[in-house]
Amino acid sequence: MWHGTTILTVRKGGSVVIGGDGQVSFGQTIVKANARKVRRLGKGDVIGGFAGATADAFTLFERLEAKLDQYPGQLMRAAVELAKDWRTDRYLRRLEAMMIVADPAVTLLLSGNGDVLEPENGLAGIGSGGNFALAAARALVDTDLDAETIVRRSLEIAADICVYTNRNVTIERL
């Protein structure tokens, strides 16, 4: 379980949105309140969010971007190749992070265990508040709300419950 982060993705109505809070905690201390844990990758056609050690996540984002350059327009292939490297490379194996990445066609959850998972309902949450946000999103997804509104409301709910989550939210949408 990663502490200090809530990342949520919702795929609905032809769009995909990833949102994350901005709190970085070190033990019981809030070190930063406005970190950007969600960003565009590649040529801007992929979005991603991370939970875990920041330096590790940036290393993984860089590796994923290299794989996206190698396999343009093939997020699934790039993610599988990254997962293979992550699991087998001695250096990468020590990285402690999880990622959610998405393009217009697919949403994927990546972990250091070699997991490349595609959530079947277009919803995924990671981090210490991820399950709270995910539960809220599941409750809201069948309403008339759009994907971005669902992400924002769900992250607010997670912030009410999880002490490692704040309301300083970054949103990326495709």
List active site positions.
5
DSSP letters, 146-171, are: -HHHHHHHHHHHHHHH-TT--S--EE
Give the dihedral of Cα atoms 131, 135, 138, 140; nearest 10 deg: -130
Retrieve residue 120's tokens: 């079947």
